[in-house]
Chains A and B, each alone.
Chain A
Amino acid sequence: MPESATTVPSGAAEFWRQYPRFLARVLWEAFDGSRLFYAWMTLLTAVFLVGANAWAVQVRDGLAVTAMSDHVSWGLYIANFTFLVGLAAGGVMMVIPAYLYHDEEMHDVVIIGELLAVAAIVMAIMFVTVDLGRPDRFWHLIPPFGRFNFPVSMLTWDVLVLNGYLLLNLHICGYLLYMRFIGRKPNPKWYVPFVFLSIVWAISIHTVTAFLYCGLGGRPFWNTALLAPRFLASAFVSGPAFIIIAIQIVRRVIHSDFGEGPIRTLLNIMRVTILINLLMVGSEVFVEFYTGGSHTSAAHYLYFGLHGHNALVPWIWSSVVMTVIAAGLLLSPRAVADRRLLNLACVLAFAGIWIEKGMGLIIPGFIPSTLHEVVEYLPSVMEWKITAGIWALGFMIYTVAIKVTINVMGAGRRHFSVLPPEA
């Protein structure tokens, strides 16, 4: 730790002296590290650059380089966006036990979830940005120069809640790390209210994102009141799944053994949420297929194909199979002790929901089209490149954030905590 840990002057002058040093340290951490770190970051940078190049070409030549059309006018980008909003909201499943139920151990590692929220929101915002036909006009959204169609347009709500959630989590993580950096005890006044706000806010980001779709009367596949609850249930599967794996990786890197309790808590949460998610999927499938009629043709297209078109069928059945297997594994008593089994379940659940909340949700909204034409969509190579690039950037952000956290706190600690123990 820097020498400032011992001196405790306060006030604005102190802040202005220390804060740039803190930022410099963060920057330094981003560019310095072990060989493994360099290899990982170089790989991610390379993938990111492939994506950046594809995006530059897309901006120059237009969205015609994607496979989207006037029939399927949103595709892989908006699919990923939707999933990532859920992932960001899922981080809250660590915050709730930590702060509402005073789970001491969870309290220690909760920052892993909060940083995940930061990285996921950044990715989500990037996915919307690359989907814009005119990124140069981004400022049209920002008052007073732009015109913000609030509160009528749900998209403006989404802009507000997503950026708000990003700021909230940046503040919480940044404040705790900074206080740790200067060796002072964080003042609960400056983060606890924000943490509670972030819990409510996490629910709101995914609800508002669901409202984007389910508010459209002309798209029967989305126009269901079950959409927002389904979004939340699946978010509370994908978020914990990611975090369980992240905890284990961090442990291995810093040769520590923290986080057993939190992993068990998250497992218990997933056992419930994955079942709720499956229940809701089943309930929707029942309504669609039992009622029949032309309103259900999108679901028909998704699960069985329509008029010989079946591009999404393999996607959705992989999702169903993965989620069901994951549910089975999670519920088996062995999941608690057998790490390999648990990890497999997490990977399957994560991938299954990525499909279900992504391609499986967005694309059938457009097929058949509002005039009942069936025009299919499968992402183009350019879309895959840009998508991979954004994910790579997200992983870079997450890696650096976790590394800063570890090193600012001092490595090798048994407890991975930036927080003071709760009173």
Chain B
Amino acid sequence: MSQPTTPPAEGITRRDMFKGLGATLGLAAYAKALAPLTEWKPFESVEDFLQKHYSELSAVDLEVVLKRIEKDTKKQYGADVQVSADRPQPGVKFGYALNLSICIGCRKCAEACHKENNHDRPSHQSYIRVLEMSNGSLDLEKGNAHYDHPVPAKDKFYMPIQCQQCDHPPCVDVCPVEATWKEPDGIVVVDYNWCIGCRYCEAACPYHARRFNWSKPQIPAAEINPVQGYLSNRIRPQGVMEKCTFCLHRTRNGKLPACLEACPTGARVFGNLLDPDSEIRWVLQNKRVFVLKEELGTKPQFFYFFDA
């Protein structure tokens, strides 16, 4: 390296031949190393790749996208599904409340979520975690999500936790590409076709409410729930974030969330916070409710209360 070398003007020397050989081998090695990329199928079509952000899709665009997703689901999973994009209804803001006095920790809600939302089967994914807590403490640190004995156990109470649909959602603030946002009816959603998978929102959420698709979800055709929403329970692509959406494909059509329907004790109360006659409003007015980690200022729209 002591002399600056300049390109030789003419003639091919041995050195050049070695260099040529080296370059060829090098290129071959590069091709070999990157070969797995050829088996990577992040999108089924160019339109898929170029798809715009959800909020920028026209009605026609959206129709095309929904059809394409149905087709791709058929192709990849062998299931016939209907994907809709229900809009939030004016005058509706959803809230959820949970009665800790009667929850028995059976995890039926978590199971219902698993099926309703077409979660990955092998990992037994669900948006709901149920913590077993000891009487006398509301400290989450004393909770245990991995209890494995008949419930309810003596001197324990149970606290299911899912997305709190915060009014000040830190997950939304941190997203660099606006792939996640809060809808007018209060539900925080993710555009699975826009998320780049940086997982900043997962770090920002104080309630462990977000889930990442570390690999392509696996689910047998027969078990797929065919009633699907673009922003909710359609099968998520690999490498993107997902979360609880209060089953918006159901609740925006007047139904109740799957977790509520599955609860055998009636511990869950769901409804429109803007409707003064709703059951959720009755709970907020007549029970002493609290929210998790209130000190963080996230303003959860998921409330807990005790009966007695």
Binding site for B on A (CB under 8 A): 1-2, 24-25, 28, 31-34, 36-37, 45, 49-50, 52-53, 56-57, 59-64, 66, 68-71, 73-74, 128, 131-138, 140-141, 146-149, 152-156, 159, 212, 216-219, 253-255, 294, 297, 365-366, 368-373, 403, 406-408, 410-412
Known: A53-B34, A56-B37, A148-B177. 15 other contacts (CB 8 A): A31-B23, A45-B26, A52-B34, A74-B199, A132-B239, A136-B49, A140-B177, A141-B196, A153-B175, A155-B174, A159-B176, A217-B170, A373-B208, A406-B1, A411-B2
Most chain A beta carbons < 10 A, residue from B29, B199, B203: B203
Q: Which of B90-98, B104-112, B139-147 participates in binding chain A? A: B139-147
Please pick, from A33, A155, A216, A373, the residue contacting B176 in the complex, using a CB distance under 8 A: A155
B29 / chain A contacts, CB cutoff of 8 Å: 45, 49
Beta-carbon nearest neighbor of A297 in chain B: B141
Q: Do A31 and B5 touch (CB < 8 A)?
A: no
A370 touches B42 (CB 8 A): no
Closest to A62 in B: B215
Tell whether A254 pairs with B2 under 8 Å between CB atoms, given A45-B26, A140-B194, A297-B141. yes
Closest residue to A50 on the B side, CB-wise? B33
Pair B174/A370 contact, Cβ less than 8 Å:
no
- 28 A-B pairs, CB-CB below 8 angstroms? A1-B4, A2-B6, A31-B19, A32-B5, A34-B1, A34-B2, A49-B33, A53-B36, A56-B36, A56-B40, A62-B215, A64-B215, A66-B214, A73-B202, A133-B239, A134-B42, A138-B196, A140-B53, A141-B177, A153-B173, A159-B176, A217-B170, A218-B204, A218-B298, A253-B1, A297-B141, A371-B140, A372-B143
* Whole-angstrom CA separation of A68 from B212 in the bound complex: 10
Q: Which residue of B lies closest to A38 (CB)?
A: B22
Cβ 8 A contact of B33, one of A53, A60, A68, A134: A53
Q: For window 19-67 of chain B, which residues contact chain A by CB distance below 8 Å?
A: 19, 23, 26, 29-30, 32-37, 39-40, 42-43, 49, 53
How far, in whole Å, are A365 and B53 apart by their CA atoms in the complex?
31
A18 to chain B, nearest CB (A): 15
User: Is the CB–CB distance between A59 and B40 below 8 Å?
Assistant: yes
User: Is B141's CB under 8 angstroms from A59's CB?
Assistant: no
In Å, the complex CA distance between A317 and B253 comes to 56
> B85 CB to closest chain A CB, in angstroms?
19
B200 touches A155 (CB 8 A): yes
B197 at the interface (CB under 8 A from A): yes
**B198 contacts A133, CB within 8 Å?**
yes
| Listed residue (B7, B33, B34, B240) with the most chain A CB atoms within 10 angstroms of its CB | B33
Task: Specify the main secondary structure of chain B where it touches its partner.
Answer: loop
CB-CB under 8 A for A59 and B37, given A45-B26, A132-B198, A153-B176: yes
Residue of A52, A134, A365 near B203 (CB, 8 A) is: A365
Which residues of A lie under 8 Å from residue B198 when comparing CB positions? 128, 131-133, 155
Which residue of the partner chain, among A37, A52, A64, A135, contacts B214 with CB atoms under 8 Å? A64
Contact status B139-A294, CB under 8 Å = yes
Say whether, besides A60-B37, A217-B206, A407-B4, A133 and B211 are in contact (CB < 8 Å): no
Q: What CA separation (Å) do A373 and B203 show in the bound complex?
A: 14
A132 in contact with B161 (CB, 8 Å): no
Q: Is the CB of A136 within 8 A of B214?
A: no
- Report chain B residues within 8 Å CB of A32: 5, 19
Q: Are A156 and B176 in contact (CB under 8 A)?
A: yes
Q: A132-B197, A141-B177 are in contact. Are A28 and B36 (CB under 8 A)?
A: no
B1, A52: Cβ atoms under 8 Å? no
In the bound complex, what is the Cα–Cα distance between A408 and B23 (angstroms)? 24
- Report Cα–Cα, A303/B210, bound state, in Å: 28
Say yes or no: A411 contacts B140, CB within 8 Å: no
In the bound complex, do residue A60 and residue B36 qualify as a contact, i.e. CB atoms below 8 Å apart? yes
Residues of A contacting B286 in the complex (Cβ-Cβ under 8 angstroms): none
Q: Which residues of A contact B34 (CB under 8 A)?
A: 52-53, 56
Asked whether any CB of chain A lies closer than 8 Å to the CB of B238, the reply is yes
CA distance A64 to B199 in the complex (A): 14
Which listed residue (A52, A128, A133) contacts B240, Cβ 8 A? A133
Q: At the interface, yes or no: B113 with Cβ under 8 Å from chain A? A: no
- A217→B298 CA distance, assembly (Å): 9
B4 touches A371 (CB 8 A): no
Does chain A have a CB within 8 A of B68? no
- Would you call B259 an interface residue if the criterion is a C-beta within 8 Å of the partner chain's C-beta atoms? no
Given contacts A52-B33, A132-B197, A371-B129, contact A216 B1 (CB under 8 A): no
Closest chain-A Cβ to B219's Cβ sits at a distance in Å of: 15
| Beta-carbon contact of B4 and A73 below 8 Å | no
> Distance (Å) between the CB of B208 and the closest chain A CB?
5
Q: A372 → chain B, closest Cβ, in Å?
A: 4
Q: A56-B37, A137-B194 are in contact. Are A70 and B211 (CB under 8 A)?
A: yes
Contact B141 A368 (CB under 8 A): yes
Most B-side CB within 10 Å, residue of A131, A147, A156, A366:
A147
B78 within 8 A of A: no
- Cross-interface CB contact of A218 among B19, B42, B178, B293, cutoff 8 Å: B293
Known contacts A146-B177, A294-B141; is A68 also within 8 Å of B214 by CB? yes
A56 and B33 form a contact (CB under 8 A): yes
- The smallest C-beta distance from A279 to any residue of chain B, in angstroms, reads 28
- Which residue on B lies nearest to A28, using beta carbons? B7
B residues within 8 A CB of A254?
Answer: 1-2
Bound together, the chains give a CA A98 to CA B43 distance in angstroms of 51
CB contacts (< 8 Å) of B23 on chain A: these are 31
Set A53, A69, A253, A372: member contacting B141, Cβ < 8 A:
A372
Contacts of B175 in A (CB 8 A): 149, 153
Contact of A73 among B3, B43, B199, B206 (CB under 8 A): B199
B216 on the interface (CB 8 Å rule)? yes
- The answer to whether A147 touches B170 (Cβ under 8 A) is no
Tell me the smallest distance from the CB of A93 to a CB of chain B, in Å. Answer: 27
Inside 8 A of B212's CB, which chain A residues have their CB?
63, 70, 73, 133
Closest chain A residue to B199, Cβ basis: A73
The verdict on B296 contacting chain A, using a C-beta distance below 8 Å, is: yes
